[in-house]
Amino acid sequence: MAFDLFKKISRAPTNPHPATAKRNFDVAELYEGPLTAPTGGAVHQDAAPLDEKLRQAYFWIVNTAIISPHYDVEYNEAPPQEFAVGDAKSRLVLPSAQSYSSFVLVPLLTFALRRKCLFIGGPGRGKTASAILMGVLAGYPLQEVRRAMQHGHPQMTIADLLGNPLPADLVGAQKMEDIRISWRKWLGMRVKIIDEYNRIPTRTQSALLTVMGDNYAEILDHIYECPESAWFLTANDERGGGTYQVIEALRDRIDVIVQALSFNSRFLSTLLTRIDENRRPEEAVPPEIIFSTGEVDRMGAAIRAVQIPVPIRRRIEFFTSQFELCDAAAEQFEYKTKDTARLSGLEWSAVTAQDTGRDRLKDLGCQTRNGLSVRNLMTLLQYAKALAFFRGNEVVELADVRQILPFVLHDKLLQDPDAPFFEAAGNGRFRTDPVGWLRKLFDLACGEYDQLDLDRKDIVGELEAELEAGLEGVREGEARKRLLKIERAVSDLSTGRKLYGHLYDDLLKLKYLHQRYTNYLHWLESV
Amino acid sequence: MKPPLSSALAGALRDRRTDLNQRFERARHQYPQLEPDDLSSFLRECVDDVVVAVERESPTAIAPVVSAAYDAALILCGQKLVGQSSSTRVIAAGWKHVLPAAAALLAQAPSRILAAVSNALHTLAGTSGARPLDWIDALTRLAPRCPDVTTFLCVGQVLGWRAGLAHLRASALDTAARLPPDLAMAAVGATSGDWPTLLARLHEDVWFDPGQTTPAAPGPRIAKEAGAFRGLGGLFLVPPQVAATDGGWLVRSAEQHWYLALDAFGVTFHRATVDEWNAVSHEPRLPPDTALAGATLRQGSATLALPTVGPITSAAAAGSTVALTSAHTHSIAFVALA
C-alpha cells in the first residue's frame, strides 16, 4: 500500500493508565512498532479496546482531518499555568493534563452514544466535513454518506425527506395498504446528517421531528422503523434563525450543541499540504478507526457501565436545583416554578419584578429563565459517562461533568440577560458566551456546595438513605421518630432562611419523605 | 564509488518513478527529517539484496516487494531508525540477513514480513539486555525451513523470547507448541530429545535452557543477577527490594516500582504501581528446606555463597527460585534451587 500520511493513527496508547490488572504479555507485542503490519494469521494482536479506539479516532481527526487547534475542554493534573493577556486581562490557560477540542470530541461522543449533535458556526468552518467524517467512522463509503446527507432548503417537502408512494400504486390501489412507499435510503443509516436544518420548512420539520424523536417515519399510514442512529445537524444559528424558525420541539430533541471555532491562520501550511496532495482526509480514514455496528453497541453498553459516584451526583443535583424555583409564580409550594410562570403567559420582566427577598446577584437561579428538564439531565449524565469512558476511566470525575455540561445545556438553560449577575464587572461577556457562562454557573454552584459543606452535612441525604434502606421491619415507634426528625429538619432548614432553589428541592424532598412515613404509619395502624 | 543497483531494483524504481517520488514528498510532510541520502543508501545497501533474492525465488513478486520495501524504508528513514544518524544498526542488519533468507515468503506477503521483521528488531533493540543479533542469526538459519508466512512469524516470536524478552515466555511457549516439532525444537535451541518432554520441562523450569548441553552442578546456584545503579545505566536510585507476584517479581526502589520477568534467556523490567506492590506479601519467605545465614544460603546439606553486600533487605521465593536483595548493592540475586 502506498505511503499515505492521512492514514497514520496513533500507535502509542492515547491516554495511558497505570496497569492494575493481571499482566498478560503476548508474543504479538514483538511485531508492534513503527511499521503497520497488515492483519491476518494467528500471530496478530486483538483489536484495541473500544475506548482506545475512540481516542485513536479522536487523535486521527485532530491531527489529520479537522484543523481544530482549540483545546477548550481542559483537564489538569497539577495547577495549570495561567497568563493574563491584554488590557481586559483575558485568561490563557495551559492545561497540565491531556485536553481536547470540543468540536471533535463532542461529535465523537455523540457517535458513541448514538445521540444528536448540532454543529453551529459560520460557513466554511468544517461543520459538514465533521458530520461526514462521523458517517465514514460508522463504516459507510464516503459517497454513500454524501448522498445520504439531507440538505435543508426552503422547498424541501416531506416526500423529499422521507420518500414517495410508488406512482403506479397511487393510481391502481384500492386501499392505503396497497400503496407501496419508496423510502429514502438515509432513513436506514446508523449516522444521519441534516445539513442546514434551519432552512427546512416548518411542515417538513414536523416530519423530521417524528424521525428524530420517535425513530420512525410515516407516509400514508405506512411506517418505516429506523435503526438507532447518531444524528448530526448543522446550522449557522443555534436559536433556529434561518429561512424558517426551527420548531421548539425539534430544537429540544438535540442533545448537544458544539460551535465550529474560527480558523487559526498559523495552520495555513496544513491547508497548503492538502492542496498539494489533492486529497481530502475523509477519503483516507484508516480502517483501524472504523467502528462496526456491534462495536458501537458494545461501546454504548460500556459507557452505561461507567459509574457516577454519589458525591458527583450530589453536586449535579445541587446545580440542577438552582434554576426551577420562582417564588412569585404561585401560592402553593409545588407550583413555585419558572414553568408555572411561563405557562401563565405573563411577561418575564413582570414575574421577576415580583421576586423579592433574595439576593438576586448571589442567587444562581436568577440568571436563567427556565429550569432543567428530565431529558436535559439524562443527556448530561450520559455524556458525562461517555466523556469518562473516552478518557479511559470507569468512574465519572467532577471535571468530566464540568467540561461536558456547557455543550449539553447550550440552548437548554435560557439566560436572563437582564439578571444583575450580567451587570457585574467582567460578567457582561457571559451574555455572548454560553459555554463560558454555563461553566461559570457550575463552578459557582460547586463553590456554594462547598461553602455549605454538603459533602458532610446533608440531613436530607441522611433521611433519604434511611428510607432507601427499606421499611421492612420498621416499627411504629421508629417510624414516628423518623417522622419527627423530618419535621425538625424542615423546621431547621426553613427557619430564618431565604428560599433558594436548592432549599426548595430539599424541602420538597422532605415533604415526600414525610408522606412516605405518614402513609406507612397509616398502613401499620390498619393491619 | 557506490556499487550499481541490481537491474531488478533499478527497473522497479524506474517503472514507478512518479508514484514513488510522490510518496517521498508525502512522507516528507510527515517526517521533516527524512533525508534523500538516507533513503538512497538504505535502498542500495539493504533493499537491493532483498530484491535480488526475491527475483531468484519469484520474479513476478519484485514490483509488490519493492513497493512495500520503499514504503517501509520511508518510515524507517523518516524516523531515523536506519541511516547515518540512526542510533542502532540492527534493523539494517535484519534487512540484510533475515529478509534475503526469507525471500520466498517475502514474495507471498511483503508488507507483513517487512513490518514484522523491522518491528521485532526495533523492539529488541529497545529492550535493555535483549540480543537482537542472536535473533537475526537464528531466524536467518530457520527462515528457509519455514513452509509458510505464519510459521515464519511464529518462529520469529519464539526466537524473540529466546533473544531476551523474558516476559513473553508463557505466550512464546504456547506459540512453540503449535509449531512443527522439528522447527519448534530448533527455535528453542534444542539439538536432541523429545519435543513434548522438552516443552513440559520448559513449562516447569524457568532456568532450563535446551541449548545448554552441560548439566548444571547439583545444589543451589546463582542463576541470574538483575538490576543496577541508575548512574551506571541501570534503573535503581537506591538498593532495591523484591517481592514475588503472580508469574513474576515486583521490585521497589526509591518509591518507584517495576514488574520483573526473568528466566534463563533474559530479564525485562516493566513499570508497576505502588498498588501492585502493596497488594503482595513482603514477608521474607523461603522454601521449607532452605535457610539464610549471613551471606550463605543453605538448601538441605548444600550451601551457596551469595553475592550480596551487607544485610539482606528482602527475600522472596517462587517455584524453584529465591530472590534476594541486600543493603549495599543495586542488583537482585536470583538463586535457582536444586
Question: pLDDT tens digits for B56-76?
Answer: 999 999 999 999 999 999 999
Structure confidence at residue A194 (pLDDT): 94
For residue B46, pLDDT beyond 80: yes
- Going by pLDDT thresholds of 50, 70 and 90, the confidence category of residue B25 is confident
Q: Does A267 contact B at CB distance below 8 Å?
A: no
Distances (CA, A) of A323 to A88, A312, A404: 30, 18, 19
C-alpha span between B114 and A520 (Å, rounded): 75
For residue A44, pLDDT beyond 80: no
CA-based nearest residue in chain A for residue B279? A20
Return the percentage of chain A with pLDDT > 90, whole number: 52
Contact B30 A5 (CB under 8 A): yes
Q: Does B220 contact A at CB distance below 8 Å?
A: no
Structure confidence at residue B140 (pLDDT): 97
Q: Which cell numbers hold the place of A470?
A: 427499606
Structure confidence at residue A353 (pLDDT): 79
* Strand A150-151 with A191-195, pairing: parallel
Q: Does A287 contact B at CB distance below 8 Å?
A: no
Structure confidence at residue A239 (pLDDT): 56
Least CB–CB distance from A8: residue in B30, B81, B114: B30
Which among B88, B104, B82, B91 has a CA at the least distance from the CA of B136? Answer: B91
Least CB–CB distance from A35: residue in B114, B172, B272: B114
Domain A312-451: CATH class, spelled out? mainly alpha
Q: Which cell numbers hold the place of A415?
A: 439566560
The CA distance from B27 to the nearest CA of chain A, in Å, is: 7
Distance of CA A316 to the CA centre of its chain: 14
- Going by pLDDT thresholds of 50, 70 and 90, the confidence category of residue A449 is very high
Is the distance from CB of A164 to CB of A182 less than 8 angstroms? yes
C-alpha span between A306 and A392 (Å, rounded): 10
Question: pLDDT tens digits for A151-189?
Answer: 999 899 999 999 988 888 888 888 888 888 899 999 999
Going from N- to C-terminal start, the domains of chain A cover: 105-264, 312-451, 459-526
C-alpha span between A479 and B149 (Å, rounded): 75
Is the distance from CB of A265 to CB of A228 less than 8 angstroms? no
Can A105-264 and A312-451 be said to share one CATH topology? no
Structure confidence at residue A29 (pLDDT): 87
Structure confidence at residue A64 (pLDDT): 80
* Residue of B117, B139, B171 to mutate, interface with A, max A Cβ within 10 Å: B171
Is the distance from CB of B336 to CB of B252 less than 8 angstroms? no
Give the least confident one: A26-30, A133-137, A438-442.
Answer: A26-30
Q: Which residues in chain B have Cβ-Cβ distances shorter than 8 Å to A19?
A: 271-273, 276
Contact B119 A33 (CB under 8 A): yes
C-alpha span between B293 and A352 (Å, rounded): 86
Q: Which residues in chain A have Cβ-Cβ distances shorter than 8 Å to B98?
A: none
User: Which residues, other chains included, contact A283 with Cβ-Cβ below 8 Å and sequence gap of 6+?
Assistant: A6, A142
Distances (CA, A) of A295 to A8, A58, A192: 21, 16, 18
Question: pLDDT tens digits for A67-115?
Answer: 878 899 999 988 999 999 988 888 899 999 999 999 999 999 999 999 9
- Going by pLDDT thresholds of 50, 70 and 90, the confidence category of residue B213 is confident
Structure confidence at residue A276 (pLDDT): 75
Q: Which cell numbers hold the place of B96?
A: 540484510
Q: What are the DSSP calls for A107-148, one per residue? A: HHHHHHHT-EEEEESSTTSSHHHHHHHHHHHTT--HHHHHHH
Q: Which residues in chain A have Cβ-Cβ distances shorter than 8 Å to B111?
A: 1, 37-38
Structure confidence at residue A6 (pLDDT): 56
C-alpha span between A150 and A52 (Å, rounded): 31
- A105-130 burial: b if 16+ Cβ within 10 Å, else e: bbbbbbbbbbbbbbbbbeeebbbbbb
C-alpha span between B326 and B238 (Å, rounded): 11
For residue A390, pLDDT beyond 90: yes
Least CB–CB distance from A20: residue in B26, B123, B273: B273
Q: Which cell numbers hold the place of A21?
A: 490488572
Distances (CA, A) of B140 to A31, A317, B26, B146: 17, 66, 33, 11
| The overall pTM is greater than 0.95 | no
Structure confidence at residue A45 (pLDDT): 43
State the DSSP H helix or E strand holding residue B292, giving kind and residue range, or none if neither: strand B290-293
Question: pLDDT tens digits for A500-526?
Answer: 899 999 999 999 999 999 999 999 888
C-alpha span between A302 and A279 (Å, rounded): 35
For residue B170, pLDDT beyond 90: yes
Across chain A, mean pLDDT equals: 87
- Going by pLDDT thresholds of 50, 70 and 90, the confidence category of residue B91 is very high
Average pLDDT over residues A370-394: 94
Task: Between B177 and A527, name the one with better pLDDT.
Answer: B177
Q: Which cell numbers hold the place of A393?
A: 476511566
Cα end-to-end span (Å), chain B: 60
For residue B1, pLDDT beyond 70: no
Structure confidence at residue A67 (pLDDT): 80
- Look up residue A158 and give its DSSP letter: H
Task: Between A18 and B26, name the one with better pLDDT.
Answer: B26
User: Which residues, other chains included, contact B136 with Cβ-Cβ below 8 Å and sequence gap of 6+?
Assistant: B90, B93, B94, B97, B98, B121
Least CB–CB distance from A27: residue in B81, B119, B160: B160
Contact A37 B26 (CB under 8 A): no
- Number of A to B CB contacts under 8 A, please give it: 124
User: Which residues, other chains included, contact A261 with Cβ-Cβ below 8 Å and sequence gap of 6+?
Assistant: A68, A70, A72, A103, A121, A125
Contact A273 B161 (CB under 8 A): no
C-alpha span between B135 and B155 (Å, rounded): 10
Q: Which cell numbers hold the place of B224?
A: 541470574
Taking every pair of Cα atoms in chain B, the longest distance, rounded to a whole number of angstroms, is 77
Q: Does B334 contact A at CB distance below 8 Å?
A: no
Question: Is A105-264 assigned to CATH 3.40.50.11540?
Answer: no
Structure confidence at residue A220 (pLDDT): 87
Average pLDDT over residues B98-111: 95
Is the distance from CB of A9 to CB of A284 less than 8 angstroms? no
Q: Does B19 contact A at CB distance below 8 Å?
A: yes
- Going by pLDDT thresholds of 50, 70 and 90, the confidence category of residue A441 is very high
Going from N- to C-terminal start, the domains of chain B cover: 7-204, 221-336
Q: Does A478 contact B at CB distance below 8 Å?
A: no
For residue A279, pLDDT beyond 80: no
Contact B272 A1 (CB under 8 A): no
Structure confidence at residue A245 (pLDDT): 82
Question: pLDDT tens digits for A226-237?
Answer: 999 999 999 986
Average pLDDT over residues B140-145: 96
Q: What are the DSSP calls for B250-286, one per residue? A: EEEETTEEEEEEEETTEEEEEE--HHHHHHS--S---
Q: Which residues in chain A have Cβ-Cβ distances shorter than 8 Å to B124?
A: 30
- Look up residue A63 and give its DSSP letter: I
Q: Which residues in chain B have Cβ-Cβ distances shorter than 8 Å to A29?
A: 123, 168
Question: pLDDT tens digits for A280-335?
Answer: 778 878 888 899 988 999 999 999 999 999 999 999 999 999 999 988 888 999 99
Structure confidence at residue A132 (pLDDT): 93
User: Which residues, other chains included, contact A11 with Cβ-Cβ below 8 Å and sequence gap of 6+?
Assistant: A32, A33, A34, A36
For residue A21, pLDDT beyond 60: no
Contact B116 A27 (CB under 8 A): no
Contact B112 A36 (CB under 8 A): no
Least CB–CB distance from B157: residue in A1, A3, A27: A27
Structure confidence at residue A74 (pLDDT): 94
Question: pLDDT tens digits for B261-295?
Answer: 999 999 999 999 898 899 888 887 788 888 888 88
Q: Which cell numbers hold the place of B262?
A: 526473568
